[in-house]
Structures are given as C-alpha cells and as structure tokens.
Structure 1
C-alpha cells in the first residue's frame, strides 16, 4: 500500500493502487491509502469521474473501481464452458459495460467439480492478456435456462434458442412433455463436447397471440406471480380507512377540487391527476396555482412488509402490448391506489405556485383525500381543447390547465432540454390478441402538458427534500463522456457537420446540431446517434443533476404504483414533513445507494423486455409480407453488412455484405458506409432504398432482407465471416474468404 502523500495522487498512482489492492478499491479506500484531506477528497471524486469518462477505470456495484475492461477484485461468476482440455471458463454474472464481458479461466480446486451453469464467488486477477479466477465459495445454481423452440430432425429433437445472436442448437436429452414446435424452457446438462438440453417447462405455441411477451418474461426472469402471503397482505391493507393513523387533523380534503387524470385510452392504472387555476393573490404577482395529486402508495405499502419486499424485487411494472406485469397486486395497482373517477382516494399532493413565466416559485406537500372529476384520454382532452368535441370540464378544468401549461412550456423552452423527437412504436391488438397495426405513436400537446406538470412536481419533490436535508433518491442523468463526444464528432463529420469538442456541452448543444442538420433524410439517424451519445439514467442518493432535462435537482415522484423509486421518494417526504404513517426507515435511508443500484438494474431489465417484445410483434406483423418489396431506411453499417428498418413500422433487419452483389465492398469506418470496389455504389446510414423482405422471425424478432434485383439472394453454400483488412490511411477492405465445397 502506498505511503500517505502530501498532495493528490497522480492518475498513474491511482491506477497502480487499484491494480495492486488485495481488496475492492473505492473512493474511501483510495483516499485513506493516500492520506487525503477532506478538501482533497472532493478533488479526488472529480478525478475519478474524469478517469471513468476517459475510459481508464470503471466502477462495480458497491462503487469499487477497477481498470476499464476489467472485473472487480471479488465478484460472482457464472461457468459458461468447460473444454476438452480440462479448462473451465466463466463470465461475470452482472456486466453492464458496453464492451463484451471478459472470459476468465477458473482454477478449480478439484478437477471436474464445476459444470456449465454453476455460480461461484471468486477472487480475480489479471494475468498477461487474460484473467484468472480463484473460487472462494460455490453459490446456489441460478436460473440459467435456455428459452427456445423444439425442432425435429429425423429421430432427434433439437433446441433452437430465441436470441437473435444464438446460432448454436442443442440436442435435447429429455423433452419431457414438449413436442416439435413448442416454446420451452430448458437447462444445459453435461460437459463438452456432450452439452445437451433438458426441457423443464413447456410454454406452448410461440406463434400464438400473447406469447411474445411470455418469451421476454421467461428469458429475463421477470416475476409474474405474487405469493399467497403478498396477496393476503394487499387485500388486508386495502381495507384500511383513509384517515387511519393521522390524528386530529387527518388528511386534507380536496374532494371539492375538479382534479382530472389524463392518461392513455388503454391505461390500466392511474398514478397522477392535475388541476390548475389562475393565482389572483396580488402578493404572488399573478401566475397560477397548481396541484399534482399522486396515488398515496406509501400509505398501503409499508416498509418491511411482504408487499414491500415483493415491490422492491420487481422494481417496476413492465408494460407489454398484451399485458402488464405489475409491481403491486391488482387490488392495489388497478383498484385502491388507482385514481379513478368519482371514487375517494388517498393521495400525496404537491401544491405548486407557478410564476407568469413558468418558473416554480414555491411548493408544499400534504396527504389528502381526492375524488377525481374525470379520467380523460389524451386524445379526448386534446379534442376538447381544440373545440372538436364537447366535454363538461373543458372550461372549469382543461382550459386553466392549458393556460398554466403554456407558461411551464415557455420555461422549458428557455432552459432548452434535449429535444429528440424519435417516434415510439405502438402495437394495436384486437380482443383476441391478434395484431391489427404497428405505427408510430402520435404525440399531442396533451402528452406534453402532463409531462411538464410531472416534471415540475418531480423537481419540487427533490428540492423539498433537499430543504429538509432528508435523503433523496435522485433520478440522475450525467453529461456524455468525452469518448462518446469524440465518436459523435467523427460521425457528424461524415455529414459535413462540425462539432467542437472544447465547448461546454449542454442539452442545447445537441439541439443546435439538429437545427444545423435540418429536415434531411439522415436527420433521424443523427438523432439516434445523439441519443447513443447520452449516458444511461439511473437512481442514486448522490445528486449529479439531470443533463437531458437541463435540471439541477430531479427525483421521480409521480408514479409510485409502477416505480419503486417513486415510492422511496414518497416515504422520504412523509418522514421529512411528518405526514403520518409509512415514512422512510433508518435502514432504507442508510441503504439508499444499494437500493438505487438494484432498481436501476431492474429498470434496464424492463426496458429490454419491452423492446424485445415490440420487435417480436413487429416481426410477426411483417411475416405476412415475406417475399414482398418494402421501403426501408439504413440504420447502421458495419464491416459485415448493413441494418435496415421498414419505414413507418420499425424492426431492424440485416442485409449481409456477402449478399449485396457480385463485387467486393470496402467498409469506410469513419463514414460508416460500404463502397463497391468497381461500381462505387454506396450504402450509408440514413439512405432509403427498397429491399425484399426475405425472413421475419417472430420468435427471435429478427428480420432479413435481400436485394430487389435478386443479386442479394443468399448463396446455398456456407460463407465464412468476412475478413476485414486494415490499411493505413485507407478504409478497411472486406474480402470474401473461400466457400466450403
């Protein structure tokens, strides 16, 4: 361990310490090792952030650091392979970096003791160009199951995985009750070269309506069944009188206020409702008074209960076109906690004073009983404001809401948050679960209105807790790393758009880029590249601001029915403002960082499940058009081909370079385009072109295209992967290697 230094350590010293430390090295351990003062610790924190942004280090769960591309000193590994030579290989069970997870060679204490799928706690060390793992403890075997479809070939059954990247099939040693064509869950068994699959559960027909979400649910291990204890607890707590535990004052009675809930027409739960009116108090210099009423979930879901443990285990509700996997049992999520028209409901209410220019001037929080005046669909609210339909609450509720929102929107425009108008796909099903349409979701002013009221309430919640010096579960969105900005600069240069790296980067910086680009064919590609430049938002008790929204303090408060993070913020407000039962416990306050890491990971799981399911529905919708020519747009170009999406519908498909035509294609890495060696034909991001849809696989969600003139028909013989030849000062050349005869 290095001796305490009179000054800050250099980056090299920090890297050496992290590499040689026998225990996980976090900020605290680094500061202690170098004997830093309190002021120096602040500078160290900034240094570590810069080193992470520059790709020198990465952080593991628990905020311990390790070299970028490496693994923590002690971590959980999963055995993924055991070769004929007796070598056992493992990968980190949790890996969130953009680079592929490294494979570690496991030094078994007893040869043959570990098999594929086993989990171990191991101490790791870097050795040469690789990594070695020393097992410390065997862990319970995880749910390492393969989700796939059974296929018969002769007298044998094979399992084909549903993953787009899964090319390997496993012979089935035990099919159980599974039959060819069934979607099944199976576990791996045996050791190389005899790894087989044993069916553990038959899920049914993968092409049946409502099966696509089940694939994602089982693939990602999303819990769908509540225990009897949890259901019993929910039914019992749902009967609790709204005023129980509040003493003489009770809840604030807001049942006379015409608060409305504006949601999607097919909403299954209603977290939030809004109200606004002009502020006639001369002391306040005009403006508006607004209320954002949020379902008081913390009143029903108490810390430490079965309900609470199950909600934290799920982290959030997961929304699919055909179903919702709720965070809370239905009696709460769709009934007692849902703000329904005409029903008395418990609410945690944010009272706000909005200035003439849309600034948030003051706020206060109360627990109340509300009676929602109406549940209105976005489309109906918009139509009422536009004078297309009559609604009894247009004058008393909707018009004041719109007037106040125009001020909020003006303030939003002034701070210039990131403005990426990327379309969201909406899958419409009939009553039997069959696909009727896939189209971009329309974005109305009504959507923006609710979004801006929710943002204002989220800001108020964060600032209110800060004022009380109470714990806050922030929604953090850090600014882009320099590495990603460099990549964006190189990308924009191919379109002739300049981007200076030395400037202070704000959300408005990216908005100005889109203004420069204008309305061109590749505009959406630039927007998608700007989106990829952003960091991933997460939950944490340390405030690093919300870059995308251009806000200094931001916490999710408005959706406690479907997000555990919001429930934590509710509990913090209840405790800080002494609003009655169900507040934040000392244990929760002490474990905010761990809770934040957990729910951030669960959020990523939900996003992956929702995205994969939409891809499967899109592929199923397009399956009827296989063989037809469709209009596409190139979304990405690589050395092995280009990806394209069907215009107006979505779904990414590959057009392999080997199938493009009869000439060699050079891959221009900087410009991200393929160039024909003889013809000069180019395929670049953003380009529109007709392609023939050759394949649409609903089980994996994958599409494959062919060229319209037939030159792109896939060859019958196998083709080895293209080899990329790098040449100094020139783009890479892609050469086809010899085909197997």
Structure 2
C-alpha cells in the first residue's frame, strides 16, 4: 500500500510527465501520398504518418500530441477529431473483389471508402455517385460512406455537366413556396420611358436579356441610355431566392447546359427585357461628346418597353454594309458612332486590352464535343461592349467612396523590382511610377509590340495581381481606370445585383453596405463556379483530343514556369502542358523574363511551337503535350 506521501509524489510525477508533453490543434492537410500533415494555429506543419493519416480526412480539425525523436524529427499522434467539414462529396463507385468502395473526387484524398451493402443504392462498378460520410475514420481508420444518388456513368449523355452540378453543389435549393417572397412591382412609381425606342442586341438563343439600348443625337454628340433589367425590384433581400442567388453567385454557362443564378420564372419571364413587354429597369443616361467624353450622366429607376430583339450578326451585317435595309437603321448608326467615339477616347485615356482568344464548343447528340470553333467578336459585339463599359464606369463613379468595385491592383509586390529592371532593359524606361494607374497607363502606351523582339507586354501581364471585388474604390490597372464596377448583368451575376441595391439606396438618400465576410463568401462562390465550368470543359476536351493522338499540332506558348510551359492550340484553343523535365535537354528558368532556355533552344511567351498529345487523363482533367523534336523547339527570334 502507498502512504499519503507516496501517492502525492506519484500524482506530482504524473503531472510533470503530462506538463512535459506538447499538444497542438490544427487542420489536417493531405498529400499526393499516404502521409499528411497537421497545420497548427502557429502555422507549423506537423508530420502525420500513414497509419495516423488513415484515421482522419483532409480538412479535419484535430488535436494532436507532438513527438520529437532523437534525430529531431517531429511527428503527430492523434488525440481527438474536433470537427470535420467533409459531409457530402462525389466520386467513382469501385468494386474490388467482394468489397464495394467509393473513390472520392477530392483534392489530396488518396484512399477509397467502404460502402456497406445497405448503403449502395443499386450503384454499379464505374458509376459516378454522390455520397455522404456515414461513419468517420476516427479512431479505427474504417470510414464508411452511403450512396445518395447515382449520377450516371461514362455512357450517360451529358454526364460531364450533371456530375459537375453535384460536385460543386450547383443545384437550386429553394422551398416549395419561394414565389411567396417575390415582391409585387408598381411600375407607376418609376419614370416612364416605355415610349422610347429601346432595342436589345444579343444572341438569338438568349432568353435572360439584361440590357437594352437607346440613343439620340445632340448638338454636342449623343445622349446614350443603357437600360439594365432590375431583378432587385422583385427579390426581397435575405429571402430564400436572394440567399440562393448569393450562394450560386452567378449563372454558369457550360457547353450544352446552363445553370441559372435565379429561377427561370424570374430570369426569363419577369425580369428579362423581352420586346413589347413593360419591364422594370435601372437606366444609365449619358451625355457623350463627339470626342467620346462622358460629360454628364444620370442613374434612375424607370420602366421601359424594348421595341425589338436584334441578333449580333444581324446588326453586324448592317453595320458592315452587307445589308442596307434595316428597320432600326438610324438607331444603329448613332450607336455605332457613339461607341466608336467612346472606344477612341478609352484607347487614349485608359487601356484597351486585346483579351485572350475565345472559342465556342459545339456538342453532338451524345453531349460530347462535335467541334470547337473560334469565337468571333463582330462590330455589334464591340458596340454593345463599349456601351456597357461606359455605363459601368458611370456606376462606379456614382457609388463614390462606398459600394462594390472590381479592382485590379497592379503588379504583385514581389515582382516590382524585377519589372523595373525589365522595362529599363527592354524599353529604356526608369522613371515610371509602377504602383499608380497613371504610371501603368504610361507603361502600357509605351510598348510598341511590333518593334520589339521580346514579348514584353505578355510577360508583364503575367506579373499582375488577380482581379477581385472590393468595398472601397480600388484602381483597375487592367483597364487603366481609377475605379470600375459592373452592374449590367444582374440577372446573371450576384455582384451586379448588389451594385443595383447600392445605387438604388443612394438614389433614395440611403446607404446599402456589403459586409466583408459576405464579400469573401461571394468571391469563393465565383471561384467555385469558374472551377465547375473549367472542370466540365476539360473533361470534354480530354475526350475530344483522343482523335488527335499521333498528329502534329500547331500551338502558341501561353504560360511558362520552372517546370514547363502551357501551349494553346491554334485551331481550337485547347491548352495542355509540356513538362520540360521530361525532355532530353536540360532547361533553366528565367523568372524575370519568363523564359526557359536550354543549350540550343529558348522558349518564350507567344512563341509558335509544334506539339503532339502525350497523355490525356480524364480522371485528373489533365492534358499533357510533348514538344515535337525539332531540336525540341524552334529557336526564339530573341
């Protein structure tokens, strides 16, 4: 028997041992292999051995005990799973012997999860499925999943779009009585512009029409009115429809499949600016000089009645002189004159970029790619685009110091020193303020592409920050403007709907603010929507390129990093990666000039190359090219 003193000493010893242990809380991070890490709150990464990693999922919040061995290597031992974000997911149904599993389609998730007989929902080997976790991996490393939906298989028409819809949670979630939240609109309380000759110019198949145009000549130039559909007139803030639109963030236009942000009853029926229908609109009315300067503008709530829906190609044929007769000839002529003046002024005072080439995917009856055609911007596309840019610029100015702005804040800070060296070397410029919009405009206007043997403009464009949304006026370097926003697609983009609310509140003498956390969530939703479309298209492109295996294809270098470069095919715009680590010659990377060099070859942006298809991985949505062995590539001119 222990006496009281011995028990006290034992208790103290246990406490000392416990106090000597180190614990931490963090988030599990997976890898491409079986092991993983726990990223602690102090940002340390603690190694998790495969046996420990089998007990958790990437993203789990866990408590671990931290161990150090005699060699100083640190590892973690799981103590507790605090929370797990993994609830539902998509993947592929796998039958291995007598075992049935799901192979999750999740980043850095390299394991199968068992599906017990009662949870299989008649799924077959190879099916794409939507699941939930019915049993967590902790503590015995034996997780289980349940099949919620069998989405289809490789032979199912449109499986690529349907699978993306489940994977990125794009299905609409609305209560059965959501129509009860729709507001009744009193058009009599708005300024009545229904007699004016507004017209829409859009694709023939478009049903959710956001904008319409009207213009009159004035002594100084023109008065242009851009009418934008006003879904906010129908949607109560924080209603079920509003919350669902916020969750989706935008309509998603996948090849052969559209996922609308708003229910079609709103986007196509009540809000869309159909001809001969009175509609609620937010109008930007601009006075434009003959030089393309916007001297004054008004934003106002109104009622319009579009008089016609015109197609881009119909309008372009008239503007380009291919058809002389048109019922709207006078209006179209004035619109072309005003948009040309606006463009000329923007080229002088701001920056007009060429943008990346656009391509249009055509599907066959099985939902697979039949062809990929270059997108053509007609004179009608350019006309509408210029009118929208002008209206958006006015909206940004109207919001003044608080609202929702599209910012593009210039060069990444870590790139500034290199950019200064590059423009001094290539352009002989050393006194430009690269951190101001005015300085960036000066730089952009100084680059004469046809007189340079080095792709300066392309290199500089890869060193810019990504554009994002801000609640305060923020420079837009890409457009050379001190501030910019968009409000011209509120049926399709939730950020534009928010700008409508901000403008309308200000017109009423009130304030509507966007919370920072809502902005972060909106940005995440937009990124998710872009990723959904990209993955769906990449899946289709992997299938499409199977027919081109063995052929030599012409392309252009569009991205470069230390491991290789991306090539965009000239005929169809499909992009794939060339891994220079797999080439015979060794290449060194110049991060300042974004250039890969071997003993005999230089790879630069915008360079023409010839490739073949090396590998197409539908599962990873990955396209790998191989450089045709013409000394690995044609030497660059520089």
TM-score, normalising length from structure 1?
Answer: 0.69
- Mapping of residues 41-80 of structure 1, within 5 Å: 77=27, 80=30
What is the SS of the residue equivalent to 1:228?
coil
Instruction: Please say if residues 432 and 442 of structure 2, whose CA atoms lie closer than 8 Å, have aligned partners that are also in contact.
Output: no
- The correspondence for 1:421, drawn from 336, 352, 355, is 355
The separation in 1 between residues aligned to 2:551 and 2:278, in whole angstroms, is: 55
Residue 379 of structure 2 aligns with which residue? 445
More divergent stretch after superposition (331-340 vs 311-320): 311-320
Q: CA deviation at 1:133?
A: 13
Q: Distance in 1 between matches of 2:305 and 2:73?
A: 65
CA contact (8 A) 1:350 1:364 kept: yes
Cα separation, partners in 2 of 1:658 and 1:172, compared to 1, 3 Å: farther
In the TM superposition, what are the counterparts of 1:1-12 in structure 2 within 5 Å?
none
* Deviation of 1:323 (Å): 1.9
Query: What runs of 5+ residues in structure 2 fail to find an aligned partner?
Result: 1-23, 633-638
For the structure 1 residues 710 and 187, does the alpha-carbon distance in structure 2 shift closer, same or farther, using more than 3 Å as the test? farther
Q: Is the 8 A contact 1:315 1:603 kept in 2?
A: yes
Check the 8 A contact 1:104/1:132 in 2, yes or no.
Answer: no
- Shift of the alpha carbon at 1:266? 3.4
Separation in structure 2 between the aligned mates of residue 340 and residue 327 of structure 1, nearest angstrom: 19
| Aligned pairs (5 A) from 1:261-280 | 261-280=200-219
For the residue of structure 2 that corresponds to 1:423, the secondary structure is coil
CA deviation after TM superposition for structure 1 residue 113, in Å: 13
Q: 1:384 to 1:418 in 2, by over 3 A?
A: closer
Equivalence map 1:214-229=2 (5 Å)? 214-219=162-167, 221-229=168-176
Alignment coverage as a number of residue pairs? 590
Deviation at 1:184, TM superposition (A): 2.7
Look up the match of 2:549: 626
Query: In the alignment, is residue 603 of structure 1 matched against residue 526 of structure 2?
Result: yes
Q: 2: distance between equivalents of 1:135 and 1:507?
A: 53
* Residue of structure 2 aligned with 1:89, choices 34, 38, 53: 38
Q: Is the 8 A contact 1:79 1:91 kept in 2?
A: no
Deviations 1:537-573 (CA, angstroms, capped at 9, x unpaired): 2222211232222222323221111222222222222
- Is contact 2:55-2:142 (8 Å) kept? no
CA offsets 1:204-244 (integer angstroms, 9 cap, x no match): 1246442223343333x34322312464336x54xx3543x
Contact 1:627 1:692 in 2 (8 A): yes
Q: CA deviation at 1:423?
A: 0.6
Distance 2:572 2:356 in 1: 13
In structure 1, C-alpha distance between the alignment counterparts of 2:185 and 2:578, rounded to whole Å:
61
TM-score, L = length of structure 2: 0.79
Q: Sort the Cα spacing of 1:308 and 1:192 in 2 relative to 1 into closer, same or farther, 3 A.
A: same
Matched with 2:8 is none
Deviating more after overlay: 428-437 vs 403-412: 428-437
Q: Which runs of 5+ in 1 are unaligned?
A: 1-73, 93-100, 281-285, 713-741
Partner of 2:583: 660
The residue number in structure 2 matching 1:503 is 432
Deviations 1:10-34 (A, max 9, x none): xxxxxxxxxxxxxxxxxxxxxxxxx
Instruction: Work out whether 1:464 is the aligned partner of 2:382.
Output: no
Q: CA deviation at 1:191?
A: 5.9
> Within 2, Cα distance between the matches of 1:393 and 1:334?
26
Please tell me whether the aligned partners of residues 385 and 394 of structure 1 are also in contact (alpha carbons under 8 angstroms).
no
CA RMSD of aligned residues (A): 4.3
Corresponding residue for 1:551?
A: 481
Instruction: Confirm or deny: 8 A CA contact 1:540 1:597 kept in the other structure.
Output: no
Q: 2:112 matched to which residue of 1?
A: 170
After TM superposition, give the deviation of residue 486 of structure 1 in Å: 4.1
1:691–1:708: 8 Å Cα contact kept in structure 2? Answer: yes
The superposition leaves residues 424-455 of structure 1 with CA deviations (integer Å, 9 ceiling, x where unpaired) of: 22212246533222133112232222222112
1:479 match: 410
- 1:507 CA drift (Å): 4.2
Contact 2:26–2:39 (CA under 8 A) maintained in structure 1: no
- 2:449 pairs, out of 487, 497, 516, with 516
Aligned partners of 1:104 and 1:133 also within 8 Å:
no
* Correspondent of 2:467 among 537, 554, 565: 537
The SS at the match of 2:310 is strand
Aligned residue in 2 for 1:573: 503
Partner residue of 2:92? Answer: 149
Q: Which residue of 1 aligns with 2:493?
A: 563
Residue 300 of structure 1 deviates from its aligned partner by 0.4
Which stretch has the larger CA shift, 304-313 or 336-345?
A: 304-313
Shift of 1:338: 0.6
Partner of 2:614: 694
Describe the shift of the 1:707–1:528 C-alpha distance in structure 2 as closer, same or farther (beyond 3 A). Answer: closer
Of 632, 635, 645, the residue aligned with 2:568 is: 645
Asked if 1 retains the 8 angstrom alpha-carbon contact of 2:594 and 2:604, the reply is: yes
Residues 619-647 of structure 1: CA distance to partner in whole angstroms, max 9, x if unpaired?
A: 22212222333223344455544443322
- Residues 660-689 of structure 1: CA deviation (Å, up to 9, x unaligned): 34xx52424456555556xx4555554433
